[in-house]
């Protein structure tokens, strides 16, 4: 293990990597097979003030230590979080649990634009019920230090004063080395890999958040940097290099997060994605209950399904609710892998008992409704 060694270049002709070690000494390491597992980098703008001490991305262990130190070292009463994605949501929940004020800002309209409007409204309500301020249309121009406080200023001059700024604007593939080595790139400049995790060079593999994947619904390449795929791709690359045949199907785009008392889950395509991929989507959104109506403790559960009018295929599913959303999405994810039609999926023999859902599982109710629109 060569910790502290930074690779500067891949010499594909010479089959070696060239870089500098901890004492700035140049090294060259030859390879028979090379795995690029460089992950992703947080998106941090180059605008003024993003390097101030109270401003940090949320990506590395070092970032986490910085946040802890800020929280311990000075009286952080409020924060601005730039971004409204998964990581921004998780940080919001953690900060609110400590009683710290949170203001979330992003330049484009729409909280969670990939989520169907009634479902994202529920998320908005949960955030507002926990005193989180949401500001879309806020594009950060600069951050300034004013005494102990920071000023986050947008390009119209609107200003929020705060004690800490978290940058959770998303990530990009750390694919610079691969690109410089002439390897083919995929969506979002991720490293293009085949089902065996081989790049465009047959002795170089890539796995993790730096690499792309096939999407099981579109059959096209996609960049979905999430933990399971990254982990699975690492194992598969190792298996393949060691002579065990492995061929990965790809990703369905399944993702979940919790925000306060809500579970938010998705898999597959949302309607505009489906259109872009050449499908003719129909959608349905229903609101049911998480338990049988006779059973105490039930809460609303929203289900959104997307199907293809021409083939009848199920293309995607989304759920929001206090319980029963996160794990329920897996049934739809498996249906996407299997290429099921909405009708086939709607005939699934899903579990029923009063504590866990209505007789017809919410996904089945939605599938029955969607069938009418196909």
* Residues binding a second copy (CB under 8 A): 216, 226-229, 231-232, 248-258, 263, 265, 267, 324, 326-331, 333-338, 340, 344-345, 347-353, 355-357, 359-361, 363-364
Given the complex with a second copy, which of 182 and 355 has the nearer CB atom? Answer: 355
- Token duo for residue 67: 């946040």
Q: How many CB atoms lie within 10 A of CB 330?
A: 14
- Report d(CA 266, CA 318) in Å as an integer: 4
DSSP letter, residue 90: H
Q: How far is the CB of 45 from a second copy (least distance, A)?
A: 27
Given the complex with a second copy, which of 155 and 347 has the nearer CB atom? Answer: 347
Dump the DSSP string for 237-290: HHHHHTT-------B---EEEEETTEEEEEEE--HHHHHHTT--EEEEEEEEES
DSSP E strands: which ranges in 12-100? Answer: 16-20, 26-30, 34-36, 40-42, 55-57, 78-82
Q: How far is the CB of 347 from a second copy (least distance, A)?
A: 5
Q: How far is the CB of 201 from a second copy (least distance, A)?
A: 25
Q: How far is the CB of 286 from a second copy (least distance, A)?
A: 17
Q: How far is the CB of 91 from a second copy (least distance, A)?
A: 13
Given the complex with a second copy, which of 12 and 348 has the nearer CB atom? Answer: 348
Given the complex with a second copy, which of 137 and 339 has the nearer CB atom? Answer: 339
Q: How many CB atoms lie within 10 A of CB 142?
A: 14
- Report d(CA 74, CA 54) in Å as an integer: 10
Q: How far is the CB of 229 from a second copy (least distance, A)?
A: 7
- Token duo for residue 130: 């926990």
Residue for token digits 């009848």? 312
- The helix (H) or strand (E) run that includes residue 142 is strand 140-146
Given the complex with a second copy, which of 6 and 94 has the nearer CB atom? Answer: 94
Q: How far is the CB of 125 from a second copy (least distance, A)?
A: 20
Q: How far is the CB of 104 from a second copy (least distance, A)?
A: 19
Buried/exposed code over 259-268 (b: 16+ C-beta within 10 A; e: otherwise): bbebbbbbbb
Q: How far is the CB of 65 from a second copy (least distance, A)?
A: 16
Given the complex with a second copy, which of 49 and 362 has the nearer CB atom? Answer: 362
- The helix (H) or strand (E) run that includes residue 319 is strand 314-321
Strand partners, 303: 286, 319
- Token duo for residue 62: 């070092």
Burial classification of residue 329, based on how many CB atoms lie within 10 Å of its CB (0-12 exposed, 13-18 middle, 19 or more buried): buried
Given the complex with a second copy, which of 185 and 363 has the nearer CB atom? Answer: 363
Given the complex with a second copy, which of 7 and 256 has the nearer CB atom? Answer: 256
Q: How far is the CB of 221 from a second copy (least distance, A)?
A: 15
Instruction: Please choose, from the candidates 276, 277, 344, 274, the residue with its C-alpha nearest in 3D space to the C-alpha of residue 304.
Output: 274
Given the complex with a second copy, which of 7 and 226 has the nearer CB atom? Answer: 226
- Report d(CA 374, CA 279) in Å as an integer: 12
Given the complex with a second copy, which of 104 and 325 has the nearer CB atom? Answer: 325
Are 321 and 343 in contact by the 8 Å Cβ rule? The answer is: no
């Amino acid at each position: 293990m060569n910790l502290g060694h930074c690779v500067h270049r891949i010499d594909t002709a010479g089959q070696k990597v060239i870089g500098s070690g901890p004492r700035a000494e140049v090294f060259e390491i030859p390879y028979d097979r090379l795995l690029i597992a460089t992950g992703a980098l947080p998106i941090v703008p180059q605008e003024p003030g993003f390097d101030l001490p109270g401003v940090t991305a949320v990506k590395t262990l070092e970032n986490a230590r910085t946040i802890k130190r800020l929280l311990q070292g000075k009286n952080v009463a409020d924060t601005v979080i730039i971004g409204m994605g998964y990581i921004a949501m998780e940080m919001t929940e953690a900060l609110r649990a400590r009683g710290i004020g949170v203001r979330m800002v992003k330049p484009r309209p729409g909280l969670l634009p990939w989520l169907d409007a009634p479902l994202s409204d529920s998320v908005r309500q949960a955030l507002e019920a926990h005193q989180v301020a949401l500001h879309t249309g806020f594009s950060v121009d600069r951050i300034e230090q004013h005494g102990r406080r920071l000023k986050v200023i947008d390009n119209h001059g609107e200003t929020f004063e705060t004690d800490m700024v978290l940058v959770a604007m998303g990530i990009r593939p750390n694919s610079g080395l691969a690109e410089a080595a002439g390897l083919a790139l995929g969506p979002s400049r991720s490293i293009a890999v085949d089902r065996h995790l081989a790049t465009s060079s047959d002795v170089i593999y890539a796995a993790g958040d730096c690499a792309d994947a096939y999407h099981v619904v579109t059959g096209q390449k996609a960049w979905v940097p999430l933990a399971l795929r990254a982990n699975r791709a690492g194992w598969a690359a190792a298996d393949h290099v060691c002579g065990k045949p492995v061929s990965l199907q790809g990703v369905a785009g399944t993702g979940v997060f919790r925000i306060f008392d809500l579970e938010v889950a998705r898999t597959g395509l949302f309607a505009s994605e489906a259109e872009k991929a050449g499908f003719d989507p129909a959608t349905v959104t229903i609101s049911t209950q998480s338990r049988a109506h006779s059973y105490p403790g039930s809460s609303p559960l929203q289900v959104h399904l997307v199907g293809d009018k021409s083939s009848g295929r199920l293309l995607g599913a989304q759920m929001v609710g206090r319980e029963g959303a996160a794990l329920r999405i897996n049934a739809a994810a498996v249906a996407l892998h299997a290429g099921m039609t909405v009708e086939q999926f709607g005939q699934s023999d899903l579990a029923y008992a009063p504590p866990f859902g209505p007789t017809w599982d919410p996904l089945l109710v939605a599938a029955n409704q969607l069938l009418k629109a196909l």
